[in-house]
Amino acid sequence: MKKLINEPDAVVDEMLEGMVAAHPGLRRLEGTEVVVRADAPVEGKVGIVTGGGSGHEPTHAGYIGDGMLDGAAAGEVFTSPTADQLSEMIQACDGGEGVFCVVKNYEGDVMNFETAIEMAEMEADTDVEYVVVDDDVAVEDSLYTSGRRGVAGTIFVHKVAGAMAHRGADLAEIERVAEKANDRVGTMGTALTSCVTPEKGEPTFDLGEDEIELGIGIHGEPGTERTEVMSADEITDHLAEAVLEDLDPAEGAEVATIVNGMGGTPLMELYVVNRRLQELLEDRGLETWNARVGDYMTSLDMMGCSITVLELDDELKELLAAPAETPGLTVTEG
């Protein structure tokens, strides 16, 4: 497979170098795969941090900036960052008010974050709280998880936690809104092709020319069903109905949506999916307050998409509308 890389074992290091070179608001902690705000730690504000395996760009470091994250740790491709690096990140982002961690529900991520939090509390007396995001409605247990997986709904959790911290909220209030967003969000995805990791140089799973996988995970974990190729409307119906059945929003509710590309899907096709999604929501008596379409949490070069729906209230709308400026997401005032 053809890829724009040098050596497979250098790709994460070189990606981070390139990211920091492109965005002056970011800096890398020396000797680590941790990226933080250039002005971190921000005094008088709770630091918001996250981390996980590489290959999901712009997740994770792409959401560092005003109104969202203060730091993000990158593991090797599809591999959790080490506890040592996560602890360095937490301590580097503590401006005196503590640090809040957004953790996707994968066993390695959860275990390493829990260890890192203990290290930061012991070494630097840092106050730390965290949320474990588990928005994937497809499966209850998967290859790398106990319980539901954390996927593109995590972007909404980053946004509301970051906005709350920017307001000057304390750890308890940030935890409250992060848990609220996690409780109200659902996601389901599909793969038209496998992804190809730099190390293997070949597809990570087999999928026939006439097959797709419904309910796929962002690392290629098995989904709920492997079926013949379906139309965009049929795929959208399947994914959206599963998410809405899980959320069960009240008629008349306002929602925010993400049609997220997996890395190899043309934006044209994602807009076709969004067209059908918005029709379905209207038919259900739901009002879309905000709709995002693009690559927000990818799986390298996988062709496919996921659909995320967040049921809103006034507080969540205010936090989502608050200004943010990051490489991967910008929200302007007004």
Residue numbers annotated as active site: 56, 219
Q: How far apart are CA 109 and CA 60, in angstroms?
A: 13
Question: Dihedral sign, CA of 88, 92, 96, 97?
Answer: negative
Say how far apart CA 99 and CA 333 lie, in whole Å.
26
| 285: region left, alpha or beta (phi > 0 left; psi from -120 to 50 alpha) | left
Rounded Cα gap, residues 157 and 133, in angstroms? 8
Q: What is the DSSP string of 257-269?
A: EEEEE-BSS-HHH
Residue 217 token pair: 């995970």
Strands 26-28 and 128-133: unpaired
The pairing of strands 99-104 and 128-133 is parallel
CA 299 – CA 293 distance, rounded (Å):
16
Task: Report the Cα 84 to chain-centroid distance in Å.
Answer: 22
In terms of Cα–Cα distance, which of 163, 161, 162 is closest to 177? 161
Tokens, residue 313: 């209230």
Secondary structure (3-state) at 32:
coil
Relative orientation angle of helices 171-183 and 314-321, to the nearest 10 degrees = 110
Q: How far apart are CA 63 and CA 65, in angstroms?
A: 6
